[in-house]
Structure 1
Amino acid sequence: MAQAFDVLVVGSGAAGLTAALNLAEQRKVAVIAKGALGEGATGWAQGGIAAVLEAGDSFESHVEDTVIAGAGLNDRAVVEHVVSAAPSAIARLVELGVPFATEGDTFHLTREGGHSHRRIVHVADATGAAVQRALEKAAAANPNITLLPDMVAVDLITGRHGERFSTEGAIHGLYAYNRKRRRVETLTARATVLATGGAGRTYLFSTAPRGATGDGIAMAWRAGCRVSNMEMMQFHPTCLYHLEVKNFLITEAVRGEGGHLKLPTTGERFMPRFDERAELAPRDVVARAIDFEIKRLGLDYVHLDISHREPDFVRSHFPTIYEKLLGLGIDITREPIPVVPAQHYTCGGIVVDLDGRTDAPGLYAAGECTESGLHGANRLASNSLLECLVFGEAAAKHILGHWNDIPAVPPVREWDESRVTNSDEEVVIAQTWGEIRRFMWNYVGIVRTTKRLERAKRRIDMLRQEVSEYYRHFRVTPDLIELRNLVEVSDLIIRSALSRRESRGLHYTLDHLRQLPEAKDTVLAP
């Protein structure tokens, strides 16, 4: 039997829980997470949330910094809307108990790359974890919210899944694999909000959590929604280089508080040679500079050094990083940190409007799985959690305000696996996943060429056929569901990159180094 709810929220991070808390004022809401509730990207966010809160700062300045970082590809109306909503979003988190750092009666603000002012509110260097805890606590206490962990979304329910087949494009919930019961279950809802995060695990090196496999983007695409700017994949400049520890991010705020990038061979600072803003340049500039120096000199990493700051300052501002690295034998108050770039953020995604609406009636989306127009060709530091908060609330408000306009749920078919069997060759999944991540890193990474992209396209076309055949014959498992989505989003990234004949923001190609006069979105339609 299908489980029925008023609204289904897919994803339990900042965007999903913000939407759920607002929806629960009037509706019964289910929040599904593919693992534990706190395993998404929100809890990993170290830096903070950008908002205009300092005397001398202005909304106009925050808007300009966002558009400059985004290489002009941003939708200015969206940027203005989000920036102006930031202070009230921060205030709501304070009401929920998020213990932002303060100095007297005011917030302690840090500065990060691309920002012209100090405007980052934070909880030391673990802001996301504090936000996640506060939102989870509020959601767990709300009687109108049902939290469903260990549910892996398979596909959205559309008209073709109804008892009476229909080509009408409304969304009526989704099918999800219950990890505990090891079966696919049917969850119906009048409205569905995708808050599933990004697609970082398409790459070999990524700071994204294990579950960042582009699930929401792939499901929305299969349901008929447009996606945009998938070629704009952000690489964080400073991920810890360590043979035993993977995916540990060194926050942008280390550079914002005076950290210097240096060559390990000579100790020379190299960023001033690439950009007048040096270490405070936007992420795409810094990541390419590090990539260039590593390749030019045959290095494994470069150094990020903040040891010239007072030890007490370093320990108090970056306690999580300090303790983590001290356990690895690196004292950041005395020595530099070995760092490399790694995939960090998916700037493109499902096309949404200011209300979080997608192309499909009844389907909304918020956060990293979307292309809202905020980030453009490169996300400005600490605008990500902000986008989650603003669009999570916007989607909820639109659903509540237009409830009677959303199509009712028709009778839908249960998941049918009568014609498939258990897999007898699961090694195929691990092999294919590894192959995708390697060629995406080598061919569709920080610096691209047409030849590399075409090579990647041939590989993904072949793998798509293999995975599709595998999916048709065997019962779904969490790994197979994720692999199917990885193939889908990798193809979208490659196709988008091939179609952009310029270098802009995060898309840097040696075959089209010039930036075209007009900034245009790359929009793909199913």
Structure 2
Amino acid sequence: MDRDGMKMEETEYARDIRADVVIVGTGAAGLFAALSLPKDRRVVVITKSDAESSDSFLAQGGICVLRDDADYDSYFEDTMRAGHYENRKESVDIMIRSSRDIIKELIGYGVEFARKETAGEDAEDFLQNYEFTREGAHSRPRILFHEDVTGKEITGRLLAQVRLLENVTIMEYTAMTDIIVEDEKCAGVIAEDAAGDRLMIRAPYTILASGGIGGLYEHSTNYPHLTGDALRIAEKHGIRLEHLDYVQIHPTTLYSRKPGRRFLISESVRGEGAILLDKNGNRFTDELQPRDVVTQAIREQMKKDGTDHVWLSMERIDRDTILHHFPNIYEHCLEEGYDVTKEWIPVVPAQHYFMGGIWVDSDSQTSMERLFAAGETSCNGVHGANRLASNSLLESMVFAKRAAGKIAAEWDA
């Protein structure tokens, strides 16, 4: 039955697919959920584009982790302060306390974070072997990274692991167009494939992990096909949404007159010493403030100078660090005509992340039974009104795993 109690015509659909869980999205949240579900359950994962075209692959800076017990209070406070204290404290606590276990799992899946040259296998704490970087609004370095393509390293490894699972089927170029609702419970999704055929994917549990809303903006760091489909569908069915006006603008993307997605200049560049300059080459702000504060400072400076960008200088970062920590940024800027080891680059704010979304509880359960949401499409309250840098990948996986755990527990009950 659909939500109006009318019987759906089976003949309207080219295929009727059955699964135990359907996951929408192949970013960090969707893939980690698939890996965390019981291996004796059939899982179907659909994605609107190819499996690699998720924003998780684009994340540059890194992933946060609780370095030690003494780091808890400062990590908690940094997250809360960046979020203007509108964060859900329970969710922040869950994320921080789960971070070390998530990192161990990622390393187990083959993720290679930057290691110290003197790293040894007999370290008392496994994190002692790794390098850390710092980003804006962090009181200390607590971010693990892989060059400047951490998202690609993590999500690529997760995708490779999911492809090995016999119980998981990935369907690319398959867009969710609606959910199936029976007796006020979610019972799967309606989708459309690349040929335009409508599919009915029935499953007693559904996890929405379809990403953000950047495709709705003219200037965004997101893939253009990420247009908030899950939000639109949730609103249609009266599913609770939260903080739809909490949209984060990233302060530094490479300025270009070309149309399309904006190239991100990672916050870790500023964490390593890069500074922002006005049209006259004068520094005008503290680059390590929260993202919304730095964005506002840039916009005010652009207005004052009558320009459409400001400048970012990496002159305080030595050449070897640039080439080894930020090789992707170096190469991309070089392709655009800028050698970051020798000259300033023009940067401008652009839409980057969505802190609002489909309301979920601490287990990623939405207000509709059997329907879960994780990652950027959800709102569990971790980020408050402004996300702390490099919390997104961690938050996505922590709460995707909790969704999988809740579903498994209900099966076992």
Alignment TM-score, normalising by the size of structure 2: 0.92
- Whether the 8 Å contact between 2:38 and 2:408 is mirrored in structure 1 is no
Aligned to 1:6: 20
Aligned to 2:155: 132
Matched residue type, 1:261: L
- Whether the 8 Å contact between 2:216 and 2:224 is mirrored in structure 1 is no
Q: Are positions 1:344 and 2:357 aligned together?
A: no
- Whether the 8 Å contact between 1:306 and 1:333 is mirrored in structure 2 is yes
Aligned to 1:231: 245
Q: Are positions 1:259 and 2:267 aligned together?
A: no
Q: SS of the residue aligned with 1:344?
A: strand
Sequence identity (%): 40
Distance in 2 between residues matched to 1:384 and 1:308, nearest whole Å: 28
Q: Are positions 1:96 and 2:99 aligned together?
A: no
- Please say which of residues 240-249 and 375-384 is displaced more in the overlay: 240-249
Q: Are positions 1:172 and 2:172 aligned together?
A: no
Any idea what the Cα deviations from partners look like across 1:60-82, whole Å, max 9, x if unmatched? 11111000000010011110110
- After superposition, residues 74-473 of structure 1 pair within 5 angstroms as 74-103=87-116, 104-105=118-119, 106-159=129-182, 168-179=183-194, 181-244=195-258, 246-263=261-278, 265-271=279-285, 278-403=286-411
Q: 1:243 Cα shift?
A: 2.5
Q: 1:297 Cα shift?
A: 1.9
Q: 1:223 Cα shift?
A: 2.1
- Whether the 8 Å contact between 2:246 and 2:386 is mirrored in structure 1 is yes
**Unpaired stretches in structure 1, ≥5 consecutive residues:** 160-167, 272-277, 406-526
Matched residue type, 1:169: E
**Unpaired stretches in structure 2, ≥5 consecutive residues:** 1-14, 120-128
Q: 1:24 Cα shift?
A: 4.1
Any idea what the Cα deviations from partners look like across 1:293-333, whole Å, max 9, x if unmatched? 11222101001111232111211110000011112220101
Any idea what the Cα deviations from partners look like across 1:179-231, whole Å, max 9, x if unmatched? 1x321111110100000111122221110111210011222222221111111
Relative distance call for 1:56 and 1:21 in structure 2 (3 A) is: closer
Q: SS of the residue aligned with 2:248?
A: strand
Matched residue type, 1:210: P
Aligned to 2:77: 64
- Whether the 8 Å contact between 1:233 and 1:346 is mirrored in structure 2 is yes
- Whether the 8 Å contact between 1:24 and 1:144 is mirrored in structure 2 is no
Q: Are positions 1:18 and 2:32 aligned together?
A: yes
Any idea what the Cα deviations from partners look like across 1:78-134, whole Å, max 9, x if unmatched? 101101101110110000001110113211100000100100001010000011111
Distance in 2 between residues matched to 1:391 and 1:307, nearest whole Å: 39
- Please say which of residues 357-366 and 23-32 is displaced more in the overlay: 23-32
Distance in 2 between residues matched to 1:404 and 1:190, nearest whole Å: 14
Matched residue type, 1:78: S
The partner residue of 2:57 within 36, 43, 54 is: 43
Aligned to 1:423: none
- Whether the 8 Å contact between 1:364 and 1:395 is mirrored in structure 2 is yes
Distance in 2 between residues matched to 1:60 and 1:224, nearest whole Å: 38
Matched residue type, 1:155: D
- Whether the 8 Å contact between 2:82 and 2:290 is mirrored in structure 1 is yes
Q: SS of the residue aligned with 1:402?
A: helix
Equivalent residue pairs, number:
388
- Please say which of residues 301-310 and 122-131 is displaced more in the overlay: 301-310
Matched residue type, 1:141: L
Q: 1:25 Cα shift?
A: 2.4
Larger RCO, structure (CA 8 Å, separation 6 or more): 2
Q: 1:57 Cα shift?
A: 5.0
Distance in 1 between residues matched to 2:356 and 2:319, nearest whole Å: 39
Deviating beyond 6 angstroms after TM superposition, the runs of 4 or more aligned structure 1 residues are none
| CA RMSD in angstroms, aligned pairs only | 1.3
Distance in 1 between residues matched to 2:256 and 2:193, nearest whole Å: 35
Q: SS of the residue aligned with 1:172?
A: strand
Alignment TM-score, normalising by the size of structure 1: 0.72
Distance in 2 between residues matched to 1:291 and 1:209, nearest whole Å: 24
- After superposition, residues 465-484 of structure 1 pair within 5 angstroms as none
Q: SS of the residue aligned with 2:323?
A: helix
- Whether the 8 Å contact between 2:47 and 2:173 is mirrored in structure 1 is yes
Q: 1:51 Cα shift?
A: 0.7
Aligned to 2:7: none
- Whether the 8 Å contact between 1:40 and 1:211 is mirrored in structure 2 is no
Q: 1:241 Cα shift?
A: 0.3
Q: SS of the residue aligned with 1:340?
A: strand
Q: SS of the residue aligned with 2:281?
A: coil
Matched residue type, 2:289: A
- Whether the 8 Å contact between 1:33 and 1:149 is mirrored in structure 2 is yes
- Whether the 8 Å contact between 1:24 and 1:142 is mirrored in structure 2 is no
Q: 1:244 Cα shift?
A: 3.7
Distance in 1 between residues matched to 2:290 and 2:72, nearest whole Å: 19
Aligned to 1:478: none
- Whether the 8 Å contact between 1:169 and 1:223 is mirrored in structure 2 is no
